[in-house]
Amino acid sequence: MVDSKHSPNQVWPDGKRCAVVLTVDYNDIHGILTQAPEVAGRDKTLSVWRYGTQRGVERLLALFKELGVTSSWFVPGIVAEENPQHIAAIQAGGHEIACAGYRHQDYDLLDLAAQSAEVEKGCTALQALTGKRPGGFRIPAGNGAPGFIEALQDHGIQWSSSWRGDDLPFIHPTAAKVIEVPLHYELEDEPYFAFNLSPAVPPAQSRIASYSHTLGNLQMDFAGFHRFGLCYVLRLHPEIIATPGRIGVLRELLQGIQQHDDVWIATGAEVAQWWTQTAQPVTADHPASVYERHYRDYLV
């Protein structure tokens, strides 16, 4: 929630009431192979996720260009190496390219040393293609081991978008140079639209949500974030949101947001830079502080 000492207009630059960050997870087939490794070699199933590479990336970039907005793309190093033309197009569109490790992996299965090595290898691969070392990071799946945020800081990462637990960015209590730009499941496309018939993904085999109801949910969430002066972070996937019909859901959502002249649509890097300059360290009762304190104590 917004600090009681500040009105919403004092949190963001130029008197803006709230911030909006558009983030894209571009994983190609590597994401589903982490989630459901049994689909390896099943081309019909994998084609559901290849759609993002074949059609979704271009459609998202075209929409962002049409609306004149910038975004932050999280790309595993191997995906960047396999699709250099898309990395060039993302960069040419003025969008931020952030790191998601080298391979799309479940970090719960890696120790801290392996996690740190993944970050470094991913950053190196992206820098080789873009000429710029990424400053943002999103964990592909799982959780960072104790000390992971400090490792991100050591690798030059300035902001992360992996945690939840707040409506505003926050300074990590164990790594003062890393800003967290938190997520919320209700602001992601995957819980609404991820679907594969056989094998079932997700395993519970949920049905594809109503497009109009999903748009309504996202609009109501934006209204709440706008009212309270918060940071509205959309998490999108090219293969999910960029089909011919669903791209219209995103267009209508963003066009509605743009009707508000007091909204700051920014990249994750821009939000993190602003927060670094203006925010205070988190308090001892902040969820991040509580997590760090008790999780580390538990492992001792």
What DSSP string describes 234-259?
EEE-HHHHTSTTHHHHHHHHHHHHHT
Q: What is the pLDDT of residue 148?
A: 93
Question: Residues 187-223: pLDDT tens digits?
Answer: 999 999 888 767 777 777 678 899 999 999 999 999 9
Q: How do strand 175-180 and strand 159-160 relate by DSSP bridges?
A: parallel
Q: What is the pLDDT of residue 49?
A: 65
Q: What is the pLDDT of residue 294?
A: 73
- Structural domains of the chain sorted by starting position, each given as residue range(s) with its CATH number in brackets: 8-299 (3.20.20.370)
CA torsion sign for 68, 236, 71, 161 is: positive
Q: What is the pLDDT of residue 3?
A: 45
Encoding tokens for residue 83? 């699709």
Q: What is the pLDDT of residue 10?
A: 64
Q: How far is Cα 127 from Cα 118, in angstroms, rounded to an integer?
A: 14
User: Which residues, given as ranges, of the chain have pLDDT below 50?
Assistant: 1-7
Encoding tokens for residue 238? 């090219």
Global pTM value: 0.90
How crowded is residue 83: how many other Cβ atoms within 10 Å of its Cβ? 18
Q: Which of 173, 156, 177, 76 is nearest to 121 (CA)?
A: 76
Q: What is the pLDDT of residue 33?
A: 61
C-beta of residue 76 within 8 angstroms of C-beta of residue 97: no
